[in-house]
């Protein structure tokens, strides 16, 4: 099991998925930044990253569902 130090610098009260911070691994100089809960999860679970990243491409900024609904609505109007 790996150990990590997670520093959260900012979070949004109205959107809990929006976090800003860095992850450090003890004994490793490299720091990895994250801007969303999903990016933090991907850093902490690198083996599952590829599958989850594809699934969340439009969800990351909290606008994914709204964008998808608008896109589907426009497509539906065009098919009438």
What would the pLDDT profile of 44-80 be if each residue is shown by its tens digit?
998 875 555 555 555 555 544 444 444 444 545 455 4
CA–CA dist 34, 43 (Å, integer)? 8
H or E segment to which residue 52 belongs: helix 49-55
Report the number of distinct structural domains present in the chain.
1
CA–CA dist 68, 52 (Å, integer)? 18
Query: What pTM did the predictor assign?
Result: 0.56
* Better-predicted residue by pLDDT, 63 or 15: 15
Q: Which domain holds residue 23?
A: 5-78
69 three-class SS: helix
């Amino acid at each position: 099991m790996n150990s990590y130090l997670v520093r959260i610098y900012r979070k949004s009260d109205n959107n809990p998925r929006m976090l800003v911070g860095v992850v450090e691994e003890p004994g490793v100089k490299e720091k990895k930044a994250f801007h969303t809960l999903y990016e933090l999860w991907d850093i902490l679970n690198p083996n599952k990253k590829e599958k989850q990243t594809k699934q969340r491409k439009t969800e990351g900024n909290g606008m994914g569902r709204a964008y998808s609904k608008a896109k589907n609505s426009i497509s539906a109007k065009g098919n009438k």
